[in-house]
Amino acid sequence: ELLLRAARGAGGRECAARRRSSRVSRNKPQEGGARRGLNPVAMLTKFETKSNRVKGLSFHPKRPWILASLHSGVIQLWDYRMGTLIDRFDEHDGPVRGVSFHSSQPLFVSGGDDYKIKVWNYKLRRCLFTLLGHLDYIRTVQFHQEYPWIVSASDDQTIRIWNWQSRSCISVLTGHNHYVMCASFHAKEDLVVSASLDQTVRVWDIGGLRKKSVAPGGEDPFSRHMPREMRGDDLFGGGDAVVKYVLEGHDRGVNWAGFHPSLPLIVSGADDRQVKLWRMNDTKAWEVDTLRGHVNNVSCCMFHAKQDIIVSNSEDKSIRIWDMSKRTGVQTFRREHDRFWILAAHPEVNLLAAGHDSGMIVFKLERERPAYAQHQGTLYYVKDRYLRAYDYGSNRDGPLISVRGARGGNAGAPRSMSYNPAENAVLVNFDAEGGSYELHVLPKGGGGGAEPVDSRRGVGSSAVFVARNRFATLDKAAHEIQIKNLKNEVTKRCAPPDATCDGIFYAGTGTLLCRCEDKMILYDVQQRSTMAELATPSIKYVVWSSDMSLVAMLSKHAIVIANRKLGQAVTVHETIRVKSGAWDDSGVFVYTTLNHIKYALPNGDSGIIRTLDTPVYLTKVFGGVVYCLDRDGRNRQIQIDTSEYMFKLALIQRKYDQVLAMIKSGALCGQSIIAYLQNKGFPEVALHFVKDERTRFDLAIECGNIEVALAAAQELDDKDTWHELGVQALRQGNYQIVEFAYQKTKNFERLSFLYLITGNTEKLRKMLKIAEMRSDVMGQFHNALYLGDIPERLRILEESGQYPLAYLTAKTHGMEEDATRLETILTEAGCTVPEIDGTGVLLVPPEPITLGDNWPLLTVSKGFFEGVLAGDISASDYVMEEGEDAGAGWGDDLDLDLGGDEGAKEKEEDPLAGLGLGDDDEREGDGEDDGSDAGWDMEDLELPADLRAGADDGPDAGVSEVFVAPTAGVPVARRWTQKSAIPGEHAAAGDFDSAIKLLNRQLGVVNFAPLRQHFIDAALATHAAMSGVTSAPSLSFPLGRNWNSDLAPGVGCAPALVSSLPLLEDRLKVAYKTTTEGKFGEALKMFQGIIHSIAVLLVETRREVDEVRELLGIAREYASALRIEIKRKEYKDDPKRAAELAAYFTHCAMQPIHLSLSLRSAMSIFFKLKNFNTAAEFSRRLLELSPPVKVAQQAKQVLQACERENKDEVELEYDSRNPFVVCAATFTPIYRGTADVACPTCGARFVKEQEGTVCPVCNLGKVGADATGLVCSPEQRK
């Protein structure tokens, strides 16, 4: 057996029976069905990985997961919907060729070349147990759909069935006389199919095993207690599983065989490059047909679960699709360098997966989005070759006409549809032949699949109606837009507005939306002119609102919402594919991703409505019901909760009465609503939702509600909360709360200073006594100083032994007796008596003029929500219909009576009335008339009513004694981050948290300490402080860049930059110079600083983005090279290691001058080490750089000396002929073909063992982490 193992090698496929034949197949391959008149099939790739060779695949039946077992021995668990690696399992020793999920339990099974079958629990993330018994490599493993069984196929020529609950082998199936390449259970019957290199496919009947192992009483009670050797079973496993059929027909070893999920069919693929189709009944099985076309060994083949096709892959680097009914090839998909090894089909969803030499792909073979169009209360859609109509009101659904498909029914599924209500006609678009369409005029009373009244076909993509009796198509071959009538006749031709136009969409009568490479163009077909342009990603679908005022353009991962003229555009980005969308009647766009129903408001705000089990395609949103089509073409109704987005919409539209009604209904809650209200400047509304005291405190502080903050602080009762409350109350001048907060925290120094500035000498004296009781000498002195109590200060200084200071205090303040006494004490102690120069000023606090409780505050009208929620103001007072005139004298009418009762409406006493300067109306009210106007003939004028109504208008007519605070706007810094994915802009806006998250996602940064100063500099550079009123805080102003006078009001500029690309290029030149001078440590810091600056850099154009990437590569190479050279100097006592590092240094990408210096150094080191052969190589490389004459002469001399010796004395870990990169951590070579990992931030390379560590080159990134890549320009998102 050992000899057999050695002969076969690690792959196990080099046996003589498996050697490849140079004979070409007798049948030429069929290269795709489009040329043969067959149905075209497209491979729609959904997910792709790069890894070691994939040998086994398995889909999870419910979750969007797939297992991939690799030739390296690792099992990977991927989320193919999100494109992320969930987990990896690494316990097998050698390749893992088989893997399978359990249908209901959180288990999967794997089999490998270590002869072991392992059962894993992916929730516990560990192997539960190992099944031992096979004597050779295990090829495939599979769970049974119903029973607790596992079937395994092995190179030991046996198939074993295991009970994974009892962890024992319950049957051994023998009969094959070569490696068994695969074995699998039938989905419904008690059958197993196996394929072997003995050129046969065998079908096994395991009904006896089921009866024995599963059925109650299936085993003889007497034989149950007998030893296994004495039972009636045969030597190799008994008669529990017997061969039912032996299928012979392949000329070479069979690699795969599989059952049809529902029909009595078997498919097999072999090394004879053929795929064979077999049929079976109760008594026999026979070959139906042979499918030829592969030009190398067929690795795997299977039936498609939902279509009548067979899918096969091969070592000829292709996947082929075969029509089961015609038994001919339909399509071929090829890879350039990778052989395919395995196929897997999802048990529920229309998905396939294929494993190849460098990873795997998850794909499907047809579009599952149904073509549909809706008009008013009717949905028109295509299902099973019928155009159907669904009535939303009555839920009636029925076929209208049959859709035959373009060119004889070979068009595949339709892509899109356009409906014309005026002529009751539909256009159905297909992808066949580069784009085709069908025009059907529907019968007025037709139904039940009748033929259309008029049906026409044509070639052209994106056919859409543009007028009552006109439709437009895009002819890509002629590069023109054709306008046709309902007779399918061309009436007009016009050139597209852009050379890259590849799609058109309806945009109203006579206008089209044209999809170009990086933009959408609104095009007037009549005038042949461009009306508007909008930069967008590649748009797949366009959805207009019912009144055509808003449009939503859907791309793969984004939604662009704009108005009728493509203005006021906002973009909503998604990480998962966007599938469909529809407009709500209120102007909210509701859309679906693969697993969510979400909403987008016209201002760009978005959120999740509910999750989805399977993707659906929205057709209409009405009230709280979403109408949609699933992938099987069934109409569904899904109930949704619209309260969240209706609340946000009312808030945006300032419909505060609706907002108030929603608040009082209590239908809204959750952290997302609270955060939204806080971000939008309504913390007082968010306060209404919050029950958590910590959150209530923070919100109350933000909206300035000190009373609520005080109540929350009393509940929390911690030192930090009281301190923050004191700070905020001091800003408002609320001394009582400040005093209370300081007392709670026992902050005696702050209390003393508070009493000083408020002139409360009585409490200052109490603080003096408290300090004395606490033996706080400094506190006593401060309080005495604040009180101006000089004798007390003198006593404190004297008691604390500060006699010189006590003498100075007494002498300065004229306390001669005490000064004389202290002078005597100092003299007796031999101390120098301080001299008084007489110029000192007495430090005595001023006497308070008046004692006030709190600062006087302006009477400010409460905001709508704050007033109504507090119950002070009626909600009806704020309800004002749109366009309603408030009247000319609104200032008098809107004066708020804060007293709240009738008695408070009496007129206030006018302090000027006593001087005869009061209001005339008041004196008239007293019945007194002194005739002061009589001498001037001031007669009353009969003025028009409209003028009398405004008689009170004047300079002060609208001025109220109540100050109305303006509504806070959105800070400019927040605008900078709303639509930006650039970390530098977030750092400049001061939002360090989001900048950190972006850097982690884009560059895999985990160590942010080196970026701290860069963040601070970026934030400080975008704001300027300007002093305002004396003693008031400075005003902060945002600083932008690229400002121009054409900017609309309220539209801010992008933030100013602290760093720029030219600045970094200047720093690069300085770093070059420092390197040339040999200051390697200093130069290393410069290059690392450049990498750190690039992390928060922002540039404008794509050309600059390329320059940034080039600069990052240069900085990385130099930082790695300098670290090698610095490390070399540490090995003075180890010449061998020093020589290796010197050699590695010469392979770094550096400027010629620095490369020349490194080669000179390496040449000298190797020459002294007597490694003449390697020293000669360095000499030749040095001469190729055309060095100065003196250096060249030295190199030639060394070369001559080395060529005479031509040997190396010391063996080193250095091979110049084998390309390599140097590990930036271990400083060892990583030769081509060796597995390695990279830093996602700087790109430095490392050996696999360094995965998960922090990159020492940039000190930022996590080695081996997944990252999306640096985003440093808005152009990268377009």
Instruction: For residue 1044, name the pLDDT band (cuts at 50, 70, 90).
Output: low
Placement of tokens 């002060």 in the chain: 956
Contact 203, 195 (CB under 8 A): no
pLDDT at 479: 87
CA–CA separation, 1064 vs 921, rounded Å? 75
Contact 1004, 1241 (CB under 8 A): yes
Phi-psi region of 215 (alpha: psi -120 to 50; beta: other; left: phi over 0): beta
- Tokens representing residue 454 in the block: 């008029």
Asked whether the predicted pLDDT for residue 28 surpasses 80, the reply is no
Asked whether the predicted pLDDT for residue 1007 surpasses 60, the reply is yes
Full DSSP string of 565-617: TS-S-EEEE-SS-EEEEEE-TTS-EEEEESSEEEEE-TTS-EEEEEE-SS-EE
pLDDT at 681: 64
Asked whether the predicted pLDDT for residue 663 surpasses 60, the reply is yes
Cβ contacts of 366 within 8 Å, gap of 6 or more:
41, 42, 44, 307, 350, 412, 413
pLDDT at 801: 85
From residue 437, alpha-carbon distances to 366, 429, 465, 506, 1106 in Å are 18, 4, 12, 16, 42
Burial of 427 from C-beta contacts in 10 A (0-12 / 13-18 / 19+) = buried
Asked whether the predicted pLDDT for residue 1127 surpasses 50, the reply is yes
Which range has the worst mean pLDDT, 99-113, 134-148, 771-785, 875-889?
875-889
Asked whether the predicted pLDDT for residue 770 surpasses 50, the reply is yes
Nearest Cα to 593, choosing from 631, 557, 552, 545? 557
Which is more confidently placed, 563 or 930? 563
pLDDT in tens, 244-301: 999 999 999 999 999 998 899 999 999 999 999 999 998 889 999 999 999 999 999 9
Q: Is 564 helix (H, G, I), strand (E, B) or coil?
A: coil
How much of the chain exceeds pLDDT 70, in percent? 79
* Count of Cβ atoms closer than 10 Å to residue 585 Cβ: 12
Rounded mean pLDDT, 614-630: 90
From residue 983, alpha-carbon distances to 994, 1000, 1032 in Å are 8, 10, 34
Asked whether the predicted pLDDT for residue 107 surpasses 90, the reply is yes
Which is more confidently placed, 737 or 912? 737
CA–CA separation, 859 vs 863, rounded Å? 12
Asked whether the predicted pLDDT for residue 991 surpasses 90, the reply is no
Placement of tokens 């259970």 in the chain: 185
Provide the whole-model pTM: 0.56
CA–CA separation, 195 vs 910, rounded Å? 108
Instruction: For residue 567, name the pLDDT band (cuts at 50, 70, 90).
Output: confident
pLDDT in tens, 1104-1120: 888 888 999 999 999 99
From residue 753, alpha-carbon distances to 84, 791, 847, 854, 1203 in Å are 59, 20, 15, 16, 87
Burial 749-760 (b: 16+ CB within 10 A, else e): ebbbbbbbebbb
pLDDT in tens, 301-352: 999 888 888 999 999 999 999 988 888 888 889 888 889 999 999 988 889 9
First to last CA, the chain: 62
Contact 1011, 1096 (CB under 8 A): yes
pLDDT in tens, 63-101: 999 999 999 999 999 999 888 899 999 999 999 999 999
Cβ contacts of 131 within 8 Å, gap of 6 or more:
116, 117, 118, 119, 150, 162, 164, 167, 169
Q: What DSSP element (H or E) covers 465? A: strand 461-467
Instruction: For residue 652, name the pLDDT band (cuts at 50, 70, 90).
Output: confident
